[in-house]
Structure 1
């Protein structure tokens, strides 16, 4: 049986914190599905298509990664794609408390799906998409928090606006 894992998130934008978790999770699973959750109640900074494209570009040539968008309950999407694991990144203790509550609810809804927590590497523990969006919004040097393809795309878009 294949070990398929879903790494759900908004990835708005994809940061070095995300890629740290993805890179370290790759050897643990046969397939890692990066699931971009679509929440009708939230207005993202970047389109779903842009976020999918970034991840595909970052992991081009990595056959064990699949990228897709989804709506609805994460455990339902896990069943749809045959994932028995959900991957979550943890930066701080407060992240763990929040993520554990979600994991507990998911486990009650779907006993077959386990949540796996990876702590991010110390150098990425302060990187949060929310903070990076603020840096981008105000024209700050966000490149240091972003994978190269994402940084290049955002810098190019900023130059086109001028």
Structure 2
């Protein structure tokens, strides 16, 4: 039971990391997988048919969008101030969640129920604050320079 309280203390940060893996995907992202499926479908079509031409144009558009998205990611740099702020909020929020969890286990009755509600509301708020308020501002983007 002692390990459970430690787990609850790191719950907000763990949920943020888990969310990033779910959103980005471990297999190269949704766009990459879609291009791969369409390329496999294109390879099964006969060259010179209308369907093959349509798939070629679709793949061209998808690859162009994918290239732009990857180029955008390459040009980004971590905003150190926002990173430190997110880190402090995650550690502080995890610590407070841990304390609420410990206190909710100590007491019984209505006070325990109130502490459990506070724990879940506060933990949810910290996760929401980090994922919606902090992570979108984690990166600064360099200006696109066209050198011809």
Give me the TM-score of the superposition, normalised by structure 2: 0.24
- Greater strand percent: which structure? 1
The structure whose RCO (Cα within 8 Å, separation 6+) is larger is: 2
Q: Which structure is larger by alpha-carbon Rg, 1 or 2?
A: 2
